[in-house]
Amino acid sequence: MGKPVPVPTPETKPFFDGAAAGELRIQRCADCGQPFFYPRPSCPFCASGAVEWFTASGRATLYSYTINHRPAPGFENDAPYAIAVVQLAEGPRMMANIVGIENTPDNLVLDMDLEVTFEQRGDVTIPQFTPAGGH
């Protein structure tokens, strides 16, 4: 059994299309200017329906994490792995896995610099994060 593959919806399709193109795309409000994540049809700050997609920098910091030692189906070969909340340079937070580093408390330092990377799962590409500069 492989890792779960998300099914894009009309609201999330631009996010997954961006990931397939190697870009981290999030939304912002055209009225108040606030960026936000997860995709939605209206601004969570001012309720405006004038939202637009833009390509984020792909830079982030580690905000929080947990290390999962009991893998979910499809993640058996990855344990232990980090389930993290990252703070994007643009402001919003999102959940992702931390890859490219052994997932131990010594290596996962809060506020460490991260950069986006992408993992192919079936027909869908998923953003993940790795330590910036390959550390």
For the segment 2-20, what is each residue's pLDDT rounded down to a tens digit?
788 899 999 999 999 999 9
Query: The domain spanning residue 121 has which CATH number?
Result: 2.40.50.840
- The answer to the question of residue 1 being in a domain is no
**Helices and strands per DSSP (H, E), number in the chain:** 1, 8
- The answer to the question of residue 3 being in a domain is no
- The answer to the question of residue 2 being in a domain is no
Angstrom distance (rounded) from CA 121 to CA 7: 11
Checking if the pLDDT of 133 tops 90, the result is no
- The answer to the question of residue 6 being in a domain is no
CB 119 within 8 A of CB 125: yes
Confidence of residue 75 (pLDDT cuts 50, 70, 90): confident
79-109 tens-digit pLDDT: 899 999 999 999 999 999 999 999 999 999 9
How much is the pTM? 0.91
Domain that holds residue 90: 13-134
Say what the pLDDT of residue 134 is.
63
Number of domains in the chain: 1
Confidence of residue 25 (pLDDT cuts 50, 70, 90): very high
Q: CB burial class (10 A; 0-12, 13-18, 19+) of residue 127?
A: buried
Say what the pLDDT of residue 76 is.
80
Task: Share the mean pLDDT of the chain.
Answer: 94
64-73 tens-digit pLDDT: 999 999 888 8
Q: Single out the residue of 32, 12, 26 nearest to residue 94, CA to CA.
A: 26
Say what the pLDDT of residue 49 is.
96
